[in-house]
Amino acid sequence: MTNRSGPPVAVVTGAAAGIGAATARALAEAGHAVALWDLDEAAASSVANLVAGAGREALAVGVDVGDHDSVHEALTRTRQRLGTPTAVVTAAGIMAVHPFLELPVDSWTTTLRVNLTGTFLVLQACASAMADDGLPGAMVAISSVAGRGPRADAADYAASKAAVISVVRSAAVALAPHRIRVNALCPGMVDTPMTQRNTRRRAEVESRSPDDIAASMLAKIPLGRLSTPKEIADIATLLIGENFNYVTGQAINICGGLEFD
């Protein structure tokens, strides 16, 4: 099942909000039909309506990215409605602030299930579909600068994002013979609902005000501001495009100078 007669098809996970929602809209503007995968199908439908209102076909799909069967059901729905995806951006992710000595094992397990296993399952399933149909493609996994170094109050998140970079590198080598490129983006501090929640949580843990925590965060960024979801989405869309068809296996920081690795 292919989409050769229609527009290229993109899958975006975590598409109900934040970087995922911005990426779905950016890929639609670039000419893709977009499948918006998210655990919250109703919220994804709201974003899909915005995409459709701009004249592009959009499909909201409820999916648990950490569950093999759910991912494959979502892919089947996508292929039946839109065609085989040749562009994939895995933006689904979670983070909860816990000091290392207080990090519950269930938080560790859940974070890795969504951020790492979810990324792997989506990349593997979509790449298999492309390979089966003989279609070249490009995939971008949203990692984080947290995967570049330690996070004393988010060890599970940092571990999951470091592992995403490793999976991307392995996938890039494995999928190159199928003409499928795989890269990672490592955002720094992005103005999203998750960042706002974690700022409030850090304020509670450290007995400081959210404004004080936010000011401390900004002070670490040479460019002096948070990035917007659209800035991340625009770079993901560029990496998907043909102008970057010799780039694979890379992990690119988008962090205002916060990290240099």
Chain segment 195-225, per-residue pLDDT in tens: 999 899 899 989 999 999 999 989 999 999 9
The pTM assigned to this predicted structure is: 0.95
- Stretch 231-245: mean pLDDT: 97
Integer Cα distance of 162 and 152 in angstroms: 15
For 33-73, write each residue's pLDDT tens digit.
999 999 999 999 999 999 998 788 999 999 999 999 999 99
Q: Please report which confidence band the pLDDT of residue 1 belongs to, taking 50, 70 and 90 as the band edges.
A: low
174's CB contacts (< 8 A; 6+ apart) are none
Cite the DSSP H helix spans in the chain: 18-29, 41-53, 68-81, 105-112, 118-132, 155-175, 193-206, 210-219, 229-240
3-state secondary structure of 116: helix
Question: Which percentage of the chain shows pLDDT scores above 70?
Answer: 98
Phi then psi for residue 4, to 5 deg, are -65, -30
Cite the DSSP H helix spans in 133-191: 155-175
Task: Tell me the two tokens of residue 134.
Answer: 């003989």
Q: What is the mean pLDDT of the chain?
A: 95
Task: Tell me the two tokens of residue 129.
Answer: 């579909």
Residue 87's pLDDT is 98
- In Å, how far from its chain's centre is CA 170? 17
- Stretch 5-34: mean pLDDT: 96
Q: Please report which confidence band the pLDDT of residue 101 belongs to, taking 50, 70 and 90 as the band edges.
A: very high
Would you name the residues annotated as active-site residues?
A: 157
> Are 18 and 38 contacting, i.e. CB atoms less than 8 angstroms apart?
no
For 138-175, write each residue's pLDDT tens digit.
999 999 999 999 999 999 999 999 999 999 999 999 99
Residue 68's pLDDT is 98
